[in-house]
Structure 1
Amino acid sequence: MLKKDKEKVIDEVWTDGRIREFLDQLPPAGVNTDFHMLWKAYQGMRADNFATFLGFFAEQKRDINAASPEGETVLAIAQQHAKSGEFVALLKQAGAQ
């Protein structure tokens, strides 16, 4: 029988340092760096942590409207998700269009 090599983390502690790690993520070839950072943060964080991330993102003067290779922004993608209301509001407050 195979054993899982990684346990699921529940209620992870999100320090500012942990949140800032998302600003260091390198994208795959052909993917905009700012889009990749936003996308990974959107996928991996709760709304309150995402709000903190957006502040750090803005401090670095990153592009909140960066697009995927398909031309979609994180806001456009999030608006398609049923339970993304808080994230959509946070992105709009941060200047996403």
Structure 2
Amino acid sequence: MAERKDKQKVIGEPMTDEQIKVFLDFPAEDGVDADFHVLEKAYRALRAEDFARFVAFFQDQGRNIDACDPKGRTMLSIIEQHGRSENYARALREAGAR
């Protein structure tokens, strides 16, 4: 059975700032916007409360919250399609994502 992309992360303790900041440095593949890439990696790996903290660190670096994937989709537009990801979408909206 394929893993659902709209599941909530509920495992483990909150991460330290240093553990969350690791997601800011994942190199993107050719043709993928670096800012979109790290947002996607963080979304897929972090619990909602940790993702919200990640978004703050992301913004502190002056990165593009509305970066797009190769198909022209923002992370917010993708997350909004996942039924149980409202807390992730809220974190992006509060950061100014459109």
- Mapped partners of 2:88, 2:52: distance in 1: 8
Q: Which residue of 2 aligns with 1:70?
A: 71
Aligned residues: 88
How far off its partner does 1:11 sit? Answer: 1.2
What is the TM-score of this pair, normalised by structure 1?
0.87
Structure 1 unmatched ranges of 5 or more = 1-9
Match of 2:46 in 1: 45
| Structure 2 runs not aligned, ≥5 long | 1-10
State percent identity of aligned pairs.
45
Corresponding residue for 1:95?
Answer: 96
Please list every run of at least 4 consecutive aligned residues from structure 1 whose deviation after the TM superposition is greater than 2 angstroms: none
Highest CA radius of gyration, 1 or 2?
A: 1
TM (norm. structure 2) is 0.86
Equivalent AA in structure 1 for residue 82 of structure 2: H
What are the residue-to-residue correspondences of 1:1-97 with 2, within 5 Å? 10-11=11-12, 14-97=15-98
Over the aligned positions, Cα root-mean-square deviation in angstroms equals: 1.0
Give the Cα separation in 2 of the matches to 1:50 and 1:13: 10
**Higher relative contact order (CA closer than 8 Å, sequence separation 6+):** 2
Q: What's the offset of the Cα at 1:14?
A: 1.1
CA contact (8 A) 2:36 2:69 kept: yes
